[in-house]
């Protein structure tokens, strides 16, 4: 089971947007069992996002609702601890959007508790400051990927390969090949 942390939402066309929703759908499309943990607005837009997750086959029983609608605030430690209490198993935990240090610490603690691989998305140009295990994969969120979702596809495929039992280097290589990404230096092989 892959658990994706984040705030799924819909774009103007009614398709899932935001890194969390796209990562969850990409991992599910790659054949993994996926659930999303996070926040959606308690309004029609939140209902629509939950409906789209269900249509994509992504579990959402641990998705919290934020009263009042509108923009959803960032996840906090208490949100993560509460929502992950509803998740009985986790092989891969993906923090699909940048989190505060306190929230990221809670995420790392949850991954350790479940014995799960940890993937963290960091803001462009900044590394997470929270203490993460050496085995964690930290990926920088590209500034220009919101429209296409290619980055989310890469992360979802990587998570699915890890959940399928591949070691991190093989999972990364597979995700890069299947998502169409290329190493920055084409003479160098892709690596985790």
Domain positions in the chain: 2-179
The residues, any chain, with a CB within 8 Å of residue 122's CB and separated by 6 or more, are 98, 128, 138, 139, 140, 141
The pTM score is 0.90
pLDDT tens track of the chain, all 192 residues? 999 999 998 888 888 888 999 999 999 999 999 999 999 999 998 999 999 999 999 999 889 999 987 788 999 999 999 888 888 899 999 999 889 999 999 999 999 999 999 999 988 887 777 789 999 999 988 877 554 588 999 999 999 999 999 999 999 999 998 887 765 555 555 544
Which element (helix H / strand E) includes 93?
Answer: strand 92-95
Tokens representing residue 73 in the block: 């605030």
Could you name the CATH architecture of 2-179?
Answer: 3-Layer(aba) Sandwich (3.40)
Closest by CA position to 154, among listed 27, 11, 6, 36:
27
Closest by CA position to 142, among listed 123, 127, 128:
123
Q: What pLDDT sits at residue 145?
A: 59
**CA pair distance 17, 146, nearest whole angstrom:** 8
């Amino acid at each position: 089971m892959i658990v994706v942390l984040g705030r799924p939402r819909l774009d103007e066309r009614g398709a899932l947007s935001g890194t969390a929703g796209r990562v969850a759908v990409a991992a599910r499309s790659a054949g993994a069992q996926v659930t999303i943990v996070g926040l959606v607005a308690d309004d029609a837009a939140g209902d629509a996002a939950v409906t789209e997750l269900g249509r994509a086959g992504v579990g959402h029983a641990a998705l919290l609702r934020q009263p009042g609608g509108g923009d959803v605030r960032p996840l906090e430690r208490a949100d993560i601890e509460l929502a992950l209490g509803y998740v009985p198993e986790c092989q891969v935990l993906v923090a699909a959007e940048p989190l505060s240090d306190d929230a990221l610490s809670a995420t790392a603690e949850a991954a350790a508790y479940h014995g799960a691989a940890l993937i963290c998305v960091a803001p462009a140009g900044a590394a997470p400051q929270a203490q993460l295990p050496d085995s964690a994969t930290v990926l920088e969120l590209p500034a220009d990927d919101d429209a296409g979702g290619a980055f989310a596809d890469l992360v979802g495929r990587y998570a699915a390969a890890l959940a399928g039992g591949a070691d991190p280097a093989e999972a990364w290589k597979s995700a890069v090949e299947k998502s169409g990404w290329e190493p920055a230096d084409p003479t160098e092989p892709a690596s985790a």
